[in-house]
Amino acid sequence: MARRIALLHIGHPLPAYDDHAGALHDALAEHAELLDSAGCALAPVTSDDLERAALEMLREHRSAGLKRRDVEGAWAHVGRRSLKGKAHRIVALPRLMAARRDQAALVVDGLTGFEVHVVVTALREEDDVADLVGTWSEQVGSSRLHVITLDEAAAPIDLAEELAGLALVLERERIERKIDKLQKKRKKVRSKLDLLEAS
């Protein structure tokens, strides 16, 4: 069975959703029906789970007044919970855009079991995402790294629409690859049958 897709949205954060790591998750949850129509669902975790996961992955727990043990395993929890169910998953954690290469590698490892695609949202005024893209493309490859350009005034519904659209495109590509494989198999079977009939 083909692995499910995980769309990991790492930012930029939409304005008004960058105070708390899980704030965008809650805002996107209001558009669950739209995401569901594209075969996606948000990771079944709370915004506080995502806040702790961001603090753990970025090693920022001290700045939040926490000890390492307070956040230990938070990202693994997000990964395990995401595996439940059958839908493709969306994990919106814009703060991870600040991850260093080693941290990005750990983030991707935490989503084992998924075909991980990283989604970067660039604001129209910012045209230089090269450093960020480089960090993450090393982890997932350039074909699994997607840059979406949004306006400064973009709302969660705009991001939800973009994520749903991307999920549909990726699913279509998967189906086309599957059809291609089946057609090749069919040709092989046909040639074998032709050989049997000729003998």
pLDDT value at 133 more than 50 = yes
Q: What is the overall mean pLDDT for the chain?
A: 88
Q: Which distant-in-sequence residues (6+ apart) come within 8 Å of 107 by Cβ?
A: 8, 57, 75, 96, 99, 139
pLDDT at position 97 is 86
pTM: 0.85
Please choose, from the candidates 32, 31, 34, 42, the residue with its C-alpha nearest in 3D space to the C-alpha of residue 7.
42
The b/e string for 88-114 (b: 16+ C-beta within 10 A; e otherwise) is: bbbbbbbbbbbbeeebbeebbebbeeb
Q: What is the mean pLDDT of residues 5-15?
A: 85
Residue 52 has which token pair? 């702790």
- AA identity, residue 41: A
Domains and their CATH numbers in the chain: 4-198 (3.40.50)
The three-state secondary structure class of 94 is: helix
Residue 135 has which token pair? 């960090």
pLDDT at position 191 is 84
| DSSP code for 46 | -
CA–CA separation, 3 vs 73, rounded Å? Answer: 23
Supply the Cα-derived Rg of the chain in whole angstroms: 20
Q: Within its chain, how far is the Cα of 41 from the centroid?
A: 11
Reported as a pLDDT band with limits 50, 70 and 90, residue 22 is confident
pLDDT value at 28 more than 70 = yes
Tell me which of 23 and 104 has the higher pLDDT.
104
Tell me which of 22 and 183 has the higher pLDDT.
183
Identify which of 109-113, 148-152, 184-188 has the greatest average pLDDT.
Answer: 109-113
CA–CA separation, 173 vs 184, rounded Å? Answer: 17
pLDDT at position 125 is 55
Q: Within its chain, how far is the Cα of 12 from the centroid?
A: 14
Q: What is the mean pLDDT of residues 10-38?
A: 84
pLDDT value at 1 more than 60 = no
- Residues 67-121 have pLDDT tens digits of 999 999 999 999 999 999 899 999 999 889 889 999 999 999 999 999 999 998 8
